[in-house]
Amino acid sequence: MYSVNVRDHFMIAHSFRGEAFGPAQRMHGATYVVDLEFRREALDADGMVVDIARATEVLHTVLAELNLRNLDEDPAFAGQNTTTEFLAKVIFDRIATRAAVGELGPHAQGLRSMRVRLNESHVAWAAYEGKL
């Protein structure tokens, strides 16, 4: 199995609801350094897992929808705690949708699975992985 990973980041504000979150119920924020990993069984005709330039661009586009915003005001997340693991899945789904309509290029249909990891500090990260 081959894999390729590209990295970018975004910075947001949000707050959580529920006693389990303690002081994180207050409005606060985070920098998320995002690792986007694609996996496939065999390389494409160009000897690549994915066109890295396109993957980098799609990742940047998806993160731009979230970057420098207050997620509490985003209707897409109404009634949701935007935990790191939840956001990993949101980004996974949005990239999967763009992959499905061809934004990663013609060879990307060979991709098997994908992993999105959000590094939120030097001591914590969360991820979501699934099939494509």
Q: How far is the CB of 101 from a second copy (least distance, A)?
A: 19
Decide the pairing of beta strands 69-70 and 2-14.
Answer: parallel
Of 67 and 103, CB closest to a second copy: 67
* Among 65, 97, 100, 124, interactor with a second copy by CB under 8 A: 124
What's the CA gap between 90 and 127, in Å, rounded? 11
Angle between helical axes of 52-64 and 84-100 (0-180°, round to 10):
130
Amino acid at 67: N
Q: Tell me the two tokens of residue 55.
A: 């993957």
Can residue 110 be called a binding residue for a second copy (CB under 8 A)?
no
Residues that bind a second copy in the complex, under the rule CB under 8 A: 1-9, 11-14, 18, 20-24, 26-33, 43, 46-49, 51-53, 56, 67-70, 73, 80-81, 83-86, 88-89, 105, 120-130
